[in-house]
Chains A and B, each alone.
Chain A
Amino acid sequence: MNLATALARLLIFPGLLFAVPAAWFILWVERKAVALMQGRVGPPFMQPFFDFVKLLGKSTPPRPGIGGLLMKAWPLIAVSSAAGAVGLLPVLPSSGGFEGDLILLLALLELPSMCIIAAGFSSRSIFGEIGSAREAVLSVAYNIVFLLAIVSIAASQHTFRLEALAALPATPLRWLGVLALLVCLPAKLHLNPFSLPNAEQEIYSGPMVEYAGPELAMWELSHGLEWVAATGLVATLAAPHIALWWLAALVFIVFSFFIVLGLSALASATARLAIDTTVRFYWQCTLIFAVLAVSSALLMRLRS
């Protein structure tokens, strides 16, 4: 991948120019789906965009010193890493990529949650600190399953290159891995059964409690971009490989849309779990399947 294609992928497709409207669209679909499930009409189509513009026009409280600078920096780091993760997705066939870009994608996908943890602690609000501690525990809980699922997919197909993974035909083991990824997505995106860190009324939206105006807008945007990147990763692994570029992009968008719909339906149908129940769910119920998937992947590899 040379510099020009890398920049085109980061800035145009599937990078910022595509991903930012897609992020707003996904945020709208999430809210609308919850509203429809509750028998309401829900927000208008442009709502996330209006929220974003409005937040840009609000003022921020004065925060002197290095703490204030850090608090300004975290949302920007989160947005740029999430945008980078989206830019790595191999939506178009033969769009480039390099050996090991899956690992980079995972690292970039993890960075926003690190930023959330740091943001809560640097806000020095007691609610922010509780939210950050919860986020840290949650990320330890789901990440083992998430990473094991990715490792089992990559090991069973002998590559850490996203484009090669997308091109290879899906095996039963890969479907198991995709299923494990889907189980981790609600926790990664802080959706309802696992919306512990950003509990709105319980700890006043946790790490975000002190954020206002443009910084909050950046957090919303990074949340949307995380949505695009995470659903895009699952869609890439689940969608069949198609040589026609427009059909490939269409299939990618349709797959992402249905994943978003499913996750929103789950979010509106469930209530928030306590932190110990969440950790037990991931460590006791889901981890077994992830370990099974990874060990069978390694066994298959030894046999072949």
Chain B
Amino acid sequence: MKLWNKLMCYSRRHSPWIFHMNSGSCNGCDIEIVASLSPRYDAEQLGVRLEGSPRHADILCITGPVTNNAVNAIKTVYDQVLGPKAVVAIGSCPASTNVFIDSRTLAGPLNKHIPVDVFVPGCPPRPDAIIQGVARAAAILAERSLNPPITEVSIAAVDIAAGNEEVQS
């Protein structure tokens, strides 16, 4: 059992699958996430895979200063990522709302809404900084045990994903 746990920790550290979510970003950080998977930086060496569905992902990468419209979507997607999970806030916007501070269209910063594990500051951050942030999140993930039993919110998220309800914007 101890050996299995060790193997599980090692595997979690070496296979972080990320889901990228834009919460009103200017697209600068989104381009840098894609750049970190490109031949020059090649994050796949660490086992990083960009997944299309939040259900498959371990690490949620969020860019943007969290606009009012994005809050519900962020919470839904956070619940759709299954435990153990980690959140990486990419860029200065989700950390501090950056130059958009005091805007009436913003509900940021990000850690008011969901727990954030790693902040990668920069406007935009360099791809190697993003890779380092993901690697650190994977290390945090490896130590984290399974999340507590899934709550009501997550069941609502299941229904939304199954098409029973409209996703509220």
Which A residues fall within an 8 A CB radius of B?
Answer: 31, 35, 38-44, 46-47, 49-51, 53-54, 56-63, 123-127, 199-201, 203-205, 208-213, 216
Contacts and interface: CB of A to CB of B under 8 A. Distances in A.
Given A50-B10, A59-B146, A43 B55 contact: no
A122 to B, nearest CB: 10
A131 to B, nearest CB: 11
A204 B12 contact: no
B12 A31 contact: no
A301 to B, nearest CB: 48
Interface string B73-88: 0000000001110000
Given A35-B42, A53-B7, A62-B150, A208 B162 contact: no
B55 A51 contact: no
B56 interface: yes
Interface of B: 7-8, 10-12, 14-15, 17, 39, 42, 44-45, 47, 49-53, 55-56, 58, 82-84, 146-147, 150, 154-155, 157-158, 161-164
B12 A208 contact: no
Nearest to A46: B14
Contact of B47 (A51, A123, A208): A51
A56 B84 CA distance: 12
B130 to A, nearest CB: 16
B83 A47 contact: no
A61 B158 contact: yes
A270 to B, nearest CB: 18
Contacts of B162: 123-125, 210
A41 B47 contact: no
B11 A208 contact: no
B11 A54 contact: yes
Contacts of A35: 42, 44
Contacts of B7: 53
Contact of A43 (B10, B47, B158): B47
Given A59-B83, A59-B147, 9 more contacts: A41-B44, A47-B14, A47-B15, A53-B11, A61-B150, A61-B154, A124-B162, A210-B55, A216-B55
A205 B17 CA distance: 14
A38 B42 CA distance: 10
A200 B39 contact: no
A200 B20 CA distance: 13
A63 B159 CA distance: 10
27 contacts: A35-B44, A38-B39, A41-B42, A42-B42, A43-B44, A43-B45, A44-B47, A51-B47, A53-B8, A54-B14, A54-B15, A57-B12, A58-B83, A60-B82, A61-B55, A124-B162, A125-B163, A199-B52, A200-B50, A203-B52, A204-B52, A210-B55, A211-B55, A212-B55, A212-B56, A216-B55, A216-B56
Contact of A210 (B52, B154, B161, B164): B161
Contacts of B158: 61-63
A61 B79 CA distance: 10
A38 B164 CA distance: 41
A44 B8 contact: no
Nearest to A203: B52
Given A47-B15, A58-B84, A124-B162, A209 B55 contact: yes
Contacts of A44: 14, 45, 47
Contacts of A39: 39
A213 B12 CA distance: 12
Contacts of A123: 162
A60 B55 CA distance: 9
